[in-house]
Structure 1
Amino acid sequence: MSTLKERFVQTQDRTKTVLTTFYDNYSTADLEQQTEFYLDLLRKKNIKGKKIGVLVPPVFSYLSLIMAINQLGGVVVPLSWQYRKDDLKQILRFLEPHIVFSITNHGGFPFSQAIEEWASESETLTILYKSEDCFRWEEFSIGVKEKPLEISSIDFICCTSGSTGVPKGMMFKTDDIEIMAQYLRELPDMRTSDRFFMTAPPTSVIGIAALSVGFKEGLQIVFPDSFEIPLMVKLMKDTNINKMLTTPSILKALYPFMKQMAPEIVGNLEFCGLSGEVVTEEIAVQIPLNDHCRLIGLYGSSEMGGILYCNLREKAEWSVYRGVEYKIDQDGEFLIRTLAGFMGYYKQPDLTSELWTSDGWFLTGDLVRMNENHNLEIIGRKKDVIKKGGQQVVPGEVEKILLQHPNVKQAVVLGAPHSIYGEQVVAFAILHDESRVKELYPYCAERIARYKVPDTFEIVSDIPIVQGKTDKISLLKQYLSRKG
């Protein structure tokens, strides 16, 4: 089995800075030293075949830990620090990790406490490592009965939500991550002198691939540990970045601060790649970067990696990455075959099989068409998922939380256009007492990740129905007409 260390730690100058975060600068030697610390911690646990949950916000500590787990044959289960009590416990109940590393508190939320509650409710043994700083760890054992080992040859299980809020665990091999990293390395024409700013969620498979690029190529990856705009811009200025990869909404949020706090950032940019949500050529007008900066749109999926790219200085006509095969079915859905690709959804073979045709094509759920220049244009998507700032929000999951509030009679959640985030989350609710609407936001914020919490609560007297189903199109039209 190949490991992350074998695949990615290949820089010749082991003292050169290849990763910069809010906390410090790090070299290959630093990474190997910290990884060795975790290897010493875990060797005695014999973790081969065990699932290891990792809820560690500092990027350097997180990367060192997953490198160690991967090297010892454990299954890495990255856990997002955007989770809150309900969605975190739901993920843990679904995956049943053998060991969990967790920050004690982060962003005002007691993560280790929520994990302890889950472990106490479970009938099996869980080893919990918790820390206030992700350097000094305390070990606790909760439960007695041993969990069975994972017999499948999985290296990573990266989680997202299903169509009704049910967790989905995407299974990957280390080789899949290397291929995804190769897609990231190709377009920007990378050089060892680059300072590359990236904002991909580090707990996603794309984020793991992005973090590896600096160690593989010997360039400096600048990776913020959290989404705090002024700190991000200061980090960009201090490192004098010349390339970046982010989402359109994050770029829109960063740009005014860049112009005000550090206009030289805009002048120095040579490459800006945008992905994670709908990307159109209008972004070139909305965000007027310097003329010599290549502005590239990137399209892909968490399951299959990079698929398409386009020059956003021109019309958004998409070309296919090298090594990707595609076809368009009679309904206009985009089908692909790639060199990378996940192994399937953990414990959900039926769901996995729904995404593949009998002859091996992956169903993306997106609609495209071929234009007169023989390039692809993306029309829309079939999946009922809200894409807010590069994050996916499942309406059914948010609706379920709202309906648990005693004042909510009915609830429908939709995505509506937003100038910054691409889409925003709008909740339509029928309440027993409309004067208590202000209770809904904190109620949701305590139970689900902040990006899933509705941005707007619309109180309505009825929910329109068409052919026995909620008429979401009418609801959205009513909302947009009121907003003018």
Structure 2
Amino acid sequence: MTYHPRWQTIPEMVCSVGDRFGDSEAVVDGPLRISYVELAHRVRCAAGAFAEFGIGRGDRVAIWAPNSAAWLIAAFGLVTAGGVLVPVNTRFKAEEAADIITRSGAKAVLVQNGFLGQDFSVPEGFPAIEITSDFLSSGRPYEARGLLGTDIADVIYTSGTTGRAKGVMMNHEQTLRLYSEWCDLADLRQGDRYLIVNPFFHTFGYKAGCIASLIRGATILPVAVFDVPAVVDLVESERITMLPGAPTLYHSLLAVPDKHRLATLRAGVTGAADIPVELIRRVHEELPFQTLATGYGLTEAGTVTLSRPGDSFTDIATTAGKPCDGVEVRIASDGEVLVRGYTVMQGYLDDPVATAETIDPDGWLHTGDLGTLDEAGRLTIVGRKKDMFIVGGFNAYPAEIEGFLLEHPAVRQAAVIGVPDERMGQVGKAFVVLHPEAKEATGESGGGGVSAPELISWSRERMAGYKVPRYVEFLDELPLNATGKVMKDRLQGLAR
């Protein structure tokens, strides 16, 4: 199938929504209701404000704020001014966010203070702009000229397959082509009412949510904090038809007693390495969804595979579907999933070494995930080459969490693994060895220096909630191999 681009850039697509969809609702955010005509105007005014602020083609600007209409207008206004979007995880503490803001070289940071009591403290030297202020409406309507589809549109930070967070660069063409196809495979239709619970700082929320909705003409209803009763109220009152999310979302919906309130739901999309088959069966039998697609993706390549309309229940429940058009998937000799095609990132920002380690000379992206392909080309993810685990849809990286734990004065060694959790899919469990002086007094959990609840509480003050270990077990020593590396398979055995 030959792809014929309708638009070259994201601003071109966004600024056309007024002509394409007129006065139909584009965004509903609490009492705020914006038509497509008005959204296009607000985006152009925001672009003017950014241009007057000094943001031009290729300038990076960070957004550290929850899902909202203002986030959308700010993000699309920024790219329409020629800027590059750098979304920041709202669950990050100030230190974590400062690292990304600083390394991205952002010219400014857009924030919304007061969210969940979070202090969005911007590092010194970076101008902070409140997205709830009058800034976004202060500019004259503007669209940058000369933007190309090959220009970088966003830098989304991920730890990728190893270590410290890295900025994944994607261009306009990649995103528009991939999420135009996503609309078809996910059965997103013009006039759909799309409740976006996935965070906008994540590819699933921003691209498979906001951008897909504007490509297709769906109404966006942003959700800043996932709360089951509030979501059910919105589904019922706003007649929601589209509701993608992590498996956690569907577990929550299955527990809703008054399922007739969910009657308008038609389509959903989910994905994870360990979706229980029973979950897919129950969703089909107990909820009104006509389609529930499953897929596989990563920040470095967007959506890689997705199930197809008409796939059997077994295929949807047990595989992540087939590769998207123009995307190749193969399994390396060691079982690693490799991806090649137009969707593969343009590289990690300012990190050619990590880029070369991740994309080989033949253009294959090494995902770090382990999988199999069946005869029909459907992918099944069977595990992770590295130790990453997924907590309620968020990637958690043991090395990063272990680094935080080692900052505690009583902790000498720490090793973190993911363990099964019925609601979140997986959660972290930390195995900790204390310094000798911290073990001198006997204590309930860890020998006096610190207890498990105290260490968990300490962690909550220093890292995003999904990274905080839910369990802590104290050991006299960690199991090490001959080269001194922690044998995490042994720890998994202990956890079981």
After TM superposition, the score normalised by the length of structure 2 is: 0.84
1:38 lines up with 2:43 in the alignment: no
Which amino acid is the alignment partner of residue 270 of structure 1? R
Name which of 245, 268, 273 aligns with 1:272: 268
**How far apart are the structure 1 equivalents of 2:37 and 2:186?**
26
Which deviates more from structure 2 when the two are superposed, residues 169-178 or residues 7-16?
A: 7-16
Q: Distance in 1 between matches of 2:337 and 2:390?
A: 18
Structure 1 residues 75 and 374: CA distance shift in structure 2, 3 A: closer
Could you state the TM-score of these two structures normalised by the residue count of structure 1? 0.86
**Partner amino acid for 1:274?**
T
Report the counterpart of residue 469 of structure 2 in structure 1.
454
The alpha-carbon deviation at position 373 of structure 1 amounts to 5.3
Q: Deviations over 1:261-284 (max 9, x none)?
A: x5331x443322112553343322
Which stretches of structure 1, 4 residues or more, deviate above 6 A after TM superposition? none
Map of 2:25 onto structure 1? 17
Q: 1:463 to 1:286 in 2, by over 3 A?
A: farther
CA contact 2:373–2:380 (8 Å) conserved in 1 = yes
For structure 1, the 5+ residue unaligned runs are 120-124, 139-151
Distance in 2 (alpha carbons) for counterparts of 1:291 and 1:229: 17
What is the deviation of 1:423? Answer: 1.1
- Residue deviations 1:388-408 (CA, integer Å, cap 9, x gap): 111001111111111111122
Q: Could you say which residue in structure 1 is the equivalent of 2:14?
A: 8
**Would you say 1:204 and 2:202 are equivalent positions?**
yes
Query: How far off its partner does 1:54 sit?
Result: 1.2
Q: How many residues align?
A: 453
- What SS is found at the alignment partner of 2:286? coil
1:173 aligns with 2:171: yes
Distance in structure 2 (CA, Å) of the matches to 1:7 and 1:277: 33
Aligned in 2, Cα 1:58/1:194: closer, same or farther, shift over 3 Å?
closer
Structure 2 residue runs without a partner (length 5+): 1-6, 137-149, 440-445
Residue type matched to 2:16 in 1?
Q
Helix, strand or coil at the partner of 2:21: coil
- The corresponding residue for 1:425 is 428
Q: Show the counterpart of 1:146.
A: none
Instruction: Tell me the CA shift for residue 457 of structure 1.
Output: 1.7
Query: Which residue does the alignment assign to 2:96?
Result: 87
SS in 2 for 1:406: coil
Partner of 1:102: 111
1:283-302 equivalence runs, <5 A:
283-287=279-283, 288-290=285-287, 293-302=290-299
Q: Deviations over 1:405-461 (max 9, x none)?
A: 112222111111112212111111123253432332232222211111111122223
2:231 is matched with which residue?
Answer: 232
Bigger shift: residues 231-240 or 213-222: 213-222
Matches within 5 A, 1:317-332: 317=319, 318-332=321-335
Q: Identify the residue that residue 252 of structure 2 maps to in structure 1.
A: 253
Looking at structure 2, the residues matched to 415 and 216 of structure 1 have their Cα atoms a distance apart, in angstroms, of: 37
- Is the 8 Å Cα contact of residues 177 and 205 (structure 1) preserved in structure 2? no
The 1-side partners of 2:400 and 2:223 are apart by 28
Give the 5 Å matches for 1:243-392. 243-257=242-256, 259-260=257-258, 262-265=259-262, 267-287=263-283, 288-290=285-287, 293-310=290-307, 311=311, 313-315=313-315, 316-317=318-319, 318-371=321-374, 375-392=378-395
Deviates more, 1:97-106 or 1:36-45: 36-45
Q: Given that residues 62 and 106 in structure 2 are in contact (C-alpha distance below 8 angstroms), is that contact kept between their aligned partners in structure 1?
A: yes
Deviations 1:240-291 (CA, angstroms, capped at 9, x unpaired): 222321111222123313x33x5331x4433221125533433223444347
Measure the CA separation in 1 of the matches of 2:333 and 2:102.
40
Letter in 2 for 1:313: F
**C-alpha separation between the residues in 2 aligned to 1:290 and 1:181?**
26
User: CA–CA distance in 1 between the matches of 2:33 and 2:352?
Assistant: 42
Q: Distance in 2 between matches of 1:215 and 1:358?
A: 36
Distance 2:379 2:119 in 1: 46
By how many angstroms is 1:227 displaced?
Answer: 1.9
More divergent stretch after superposition (51-60 vs 5-14): 5-14
Give the CA deviation at 1:382: 1.1
1:299 aligned counterpart, secondary structure: strand
Aligned mate of 1:28, from 5, 12, 36: 36
Distance (Å, rounded) in 1 between the aligned partners of 2:99 and 2:377: 45
- SS, match of residue 465 in structure 1: coil
* Corresponding residue of 1:478: 494
Q: 1:428 to 1:195 in 2, by over 3 A?
A: same
Cα-to-partner distance string for 1:139-180 (whole Å, 9 max, x where unaligned): xxxxxxxxxxxxx94321111235664221011112222123
How far residue 66 of structure 1 moved from its aligned partner, in angstroms, is 1.3
SS in 2 for 1:314: helix
**Is 1:157–1:172's contact at 8 Å kept on the other side of the alignment?**
yes
Larger mean Cα displacement after TM superposition, 83-92 or 22-31 = 22-31
Per mean C-alpha deviation after superposition, the further-off stretch among 343-352 and 21-30 is 21-30
> Structure 1's 221 and 126: CA in aligned 2 closer, same or farther, altered over 3 A?
closer
Distance 1:183 1:459, change over 3 A: farther
Which segment drifts farther, 315-324 or 168-177? Answer: 315-324
Relative contact order (C-alpha < 8 Å, sep 6+): which is higher?
A: 1
Q: Structure 2 matches for 1:402-417, cutoff 5 A?
A: 402-417=405-420
CA positional deviation for 1:137: 5.3
Partner letter of residue 107 of structure 1?
L
Q: Provide Cα deviations, 1:351-405, integer angstroms capped at 9, x if missing partner.
A: 1111222222222222223435554433222132111111001111111111111
Query: 2: CA distance between counterparts of 1:375 and 1:44?
Result: 49
Is it true that 1:129 corresponds to 2:129 in the alignment? yes
Give the residue type in structure 1 aligned to 2:228.
I
Distance 1:320 1:36, change over 3 A: closer
Decide whether aligned partners of structure 1 residues 356 and 410 sit closer, same or farther in structure 2, where only a CA change above 3 A counts: same
Question: Contact 2:270–2:294 at 8 Å: present in 1 too?
Answer: yes
In the alignment, what sits opposite 1:141? Answer: none
Q: Does 1:51 align with 2:53?
A: no
Q: Provide the rounded CA distance (Å) in 1 between the counterparts of 2:334 and 2:9.
A: 41
Read off the aligned partner of 1:443 and give its amino acid letter.
Answer: W
